[in-house]
Copies of this chain bind each other. A is one copy, B any other.
Amino acid sequence: MNVASSDADISVSAVAAAIAEPARTRMLYCLLDGHARTATELAIVAEVGASTASVHLATLAQKHLLQVQAQGRHRYYRLTSPEVAAALEALSIIAASPRARFEPNTPNRLRAARTCYDHMAGALAVALHDRFIALCLLTAGPRGDGMYDLTDAGTVAFAKLGMDIAHARSSRRRFACACLDWSERRPHLGGAVGAMLLDAALKRRWVVRDMDSRALRLTPSGRRDLRTRFGIEG
């Protein structure tokens, strides 16, 4: 065992331990949609008292899993980075895989459509992703590292939805990338474009947020619009 790897080990232990506490896990999963929430909100979803929640949140912030932002008498907590969301999804995959063998098709609102950090996930998101590629709106980047780019047709189509593609390009964030969907085991669209797409979908009420969970619900008008616009049958 060399120093470098045991060094890495202890800090991985610390991060895993921070995630492991059930109350903290509930908090993190609640924040997986990318929203910021107050300490009391998180105390409620974690099902612990305010004082307990406070020390949990301090722990998570100290381990750099959460960021705090004080605003008046509220303190808003959010996930520090997409990497944190990725680690949580990776843990979900291995947590879900043994039971998936026994109940392979759990009917689940989350399976159909949900948010992943700040973009869409689930069957709907995967269908959109595949359709965008089939329609040549989106192409895999040249380096084969899961980065995407919009074609000219894609730029036009997405601009029509009110998305500011030029702004997304200039942002420091990754423009568009593949994000592995844990329920579908296939990629959906992440990155700045993925986030803007979720915004647009909510603004046009293609989908509405389910209160108190990451689930999204496809509206009748959303279903109609997605069919005429992209030829998606739902």
Residues of A bordering B, CB below 8 Å: 1-2, 4-6, 8-17, 19-22, 25-26, 29-30, 45, 47, 64-65, 80-81, 83-84, 86-88, 90-99, 106, 108-110, 130, 133, 138-146, 148, 178, 180, 186-187, 212-215
A133 to B17, CA, bound (A): 39
Which residues of chain B have C-beta atoms less than 8 A from A98's C-beta?
64
Which secondary structure dominates where chain A touches chain B?
Answer: helix
Which residues of chain B have C-beta atoms less than 8 A from A146's C-beta?
144-146, 178, 187
A45 to B5, CA, bound (A): 11
Top 6 A-B residue pairs of the complex, sorted by shortest distance between their CB atoms: A140-B144, A17-B20, A16-B20, A87-B90, A90-B90, A11-B95
Choice from B80, B91, B143 contacting A12 with Cβ under 8 Å: B91
19 residue pairs bridging A and B, Cβ less than 8 Å apart: A1-B45, A1-B212, A2-B109, A5-B213, A9-B29, A11-B95, A11-B99, A12-B95, A16-B16, A16-B19, A16-B91, A19-B20, A64-B94, A81-B94, A83-B97, A87-B87, A90-B90, A144-B178, A144-B187
The answer to whether A29 and B15 touch across the interface, beta carbons within 8 angstroms, is no
Q: Taking the nearest CB of chain B, how far is it from the CB of A229, in angstroms? A: 21
Closest to A139 in B: B144
Q: Taking the nearest CB of chain B, how far is it from the CB of A195, in angstroms? A: 18
Given contacts A8-B92, A64-B98, A140-B142, 7 further A-B contacts (CB under 8 A): A1-B26, A12-B29, A12-B92, A13-B21, A13-B22, A64-B94, A133-B143
